[in-house]
Structures are given as structure tokens and as C-alpha cells.
Amino acid sequence: MMKKKLEEIQMKPLGEAAITVQFGTEINSFINKKVKALATKLQHESFSGFIECTPAFASVTIFFDPFIVKQAYGKIGKSSFQIVQAILERMLETLVEEEESTPRIVDIPVCYGGDFGPDLDFVAGHNHLSTDEVIHLHASAEYPVYMIGFAPGFPYLGGLSEKINAPRRPSPRTSIPAGSVGIAGSQTGVYPISTPGGWQLIGRTPMALFRPDRDLPSLLSAGDIVKFVPITVEEFEQYQERVQ
């Protein structure tokens, strides 16, 4: 049951207009399921002043308008943070995790190394491996999508082999091309749009992960399984031509 585990859940302010509910400090599907359950619940039973929520690996951050919260529930004589905290605590007590369904598997073609993956050598060197070994390890795993965040459609993936972990760059690059595939710590992901970022880049996909014209603007959703399929530069170019 959720209830007896409530004390393990932490709530902390992110400024005066947001609160983060933290279910744990590690990446695992047990915690991630709770994250998804709370985010889903908030979509269905929100409260006055609720703006939106951002689910992450092990947390859900709830954005609210303190003025509206205070107006709606202010008679309790508490701060808006305390009010939202109380509402969330009540929600957590009755949180039901969703039934397991068969996850969708999405193949993402990636051209590794070269100009597309300028940090492939660094990741290999850092782990005392050859670049081919890094590519093989990266492309042979199945990656569950834990969250979409950081940039439109950007998937945070679990399941990266410990053998190819690499620290973030000391300072983020000011611009990273769309489609870049990177590693940061024990995480791997794909940059859907050109943006600054601090991940170590090992390759690039020609596939569009952010589709603003669709109802669901993100190709991937939390719960999907991603598989990376190595392709050559020629295949990369052919794919791009086909899309255009």
C-alpha cells in the first residue's frame, strides 16, 4: 500500500509557486510508476490554482498560482505551499498505480561517431573501451522511457550499460544539433531540437522526436521502450531525403 510509504515521500518548494514531490533518489521502474500515477491523478482531479505538473524520473513537480490557491482555500489559515502540500498528501493516500500494459517499442536509427558524435572518443576513453564497443553496448540494450523533459520531446531513458557511463561536460555547449544522441552520468537521450546542453554526444538520429503539429507533440511517451539501430552516414542522408 502507498500509505505506509508516505514518510519516504519528500515535498520541497521550487520557489513560492511550485512544489516537488520526490518519491526517491534513484532511477527505477517501481518509483517511476508512482510518478506516473500521481501525474495522471493530477490531470483528472486538479485543484483551484493548479497550473500543470512536470513528471520526472523520481518526482512530480506541481506548478500553482499562490494567489488563487490562497483565495480558494485560504480560510484554513495556512500558506499556499502548506495548502498544496495538504492537498497532495491526501492524493497520495489514495494513489493507485496503473495496471501494467505491454509497452510500445520504438526503433530509433542512429549514426554513431564522426561529426555526429564528437564525444564518442571521450566516452570510449573514459571507460577504457574502443568506440565500436561503446556503439555495440549502446545499440544492444532496451531503454525504457522514464520521462520526457528538458526540451520538447526529449526522452530520459533508463537501462544504459554501466560500462558506458560518462560525466556531463564541465560546461554546457551553447548549441547542439537536433537529433544528437548523448550520455550524461548513467543516462542516455536524444536532443529533439537544437539547444544548448551538457551531455556527451556519441551520435545523431535523422528521426523527428518533436512534432508540434500533432496532438501529441512528443514521438515518445513515458513507458515506451526505445531501441537504437546503428546506421551509416549514407543511410542517415537517405532517411532525411525520404522525410523531405
Partner 1 sequence: MSVQIIRPGLLATIQDLGRYGFQQYGVVVGGAMDSFSLRFANVLVGNEEGEAAIEVTMMGTSLQFEEDTLISITGGNLNPVIDGSPVPLWRPVFVKKDAVLSFAGCKVGCRAYIAVAGGFSIPNVMNSKSTYIRGEIGGFKGRALKEGDVIPLAEENSFSMKAKRALQKKLKHNSFAAADWYVPFERYVNGKVVRVLKGAEFEEFSELAQKQFFEQEFQITPHSDRMGYRLSGPSLQLKRPFELLSEAVANGTIQVPSDGNPIVLLADRQTTGGYPRIGQIATVDLPIMAQMKPGDHIRFKEITLHEAEQLYIEREKEMKQIQTALLLKEWSFE
Which residues of this protein are in contact with partner 1, per CB under 8 A?
Answer: 12-18, 20, 22, 25-27, 39, 51-59, 61, 63, 66-67, 70, 79-81, 147-154, 156, 167-168, 170-172, 174, 184-187, 192-196, 198, 210, 212, 216-218
Q: Greatest CA separation found in the chain?
A: 66
Half-sphere exposure of 29 (CA within 13 A, CB side): 13
Instruction: Choose between 14 and 233: whose C-beta lies nearer to partner 1.
Output: 14
Shortest spacing between CB 63 and partner 1, in angstroms:
7
Shortest spacing between CB 47 and partner 1, in angstroms:
15
Instruction: Choose between 14 and 229: whose C-beta lies nearer to partner 1.
Output: 14
Q: Does residue 50 contact residue 60 with C-beta atoms inside 8 Å?
A: no
Shortest spacing between CB 244 and partner 1, in angstroms:
15
Shortest spacing between CB 145 and partner 1, in angstroms:
11
Instruction: Choose between 222 and 231: whose C-beta lies nearer to partner 1.
Output: 222
Torsion of Cα atoms, 163 then 169 then 174 then 179, to 10°: 0
Axis-axis angle for helices 29-44, 80-93 (nearest 10) = 110
Instruction: Choose between 25 and 94: whose C-beta lies nearer to partner 1.
Output: 25
CA distance 184 to 57: 14
Angle at 21 between CA 15 and CA 23, to 5 degrees: 145
Q: Does residue 154 contact residue 208 with C-beta atoms inside 8 Å?
A: no
CB neighbour list of residue 225: distance below 8 Å, 6 or more residues apart: 103, 104, 105, 106, 142, 143, 144, 145
Shortest spacing between CB 94 and partner 1, in angstroms:
21
Shortest spacing between CB 192 and partner 1, in angstroms:
8
For the chain, how far is it from start to end, CA to CA, in angstroms? 51
Instruction: Choose between 148 and 231: whose C-beta lies nearer to partner 1.
Output: 148
Instruction: Choose between 95 and 136: whose C-beta lies nearer to partner 1.
Output: 95
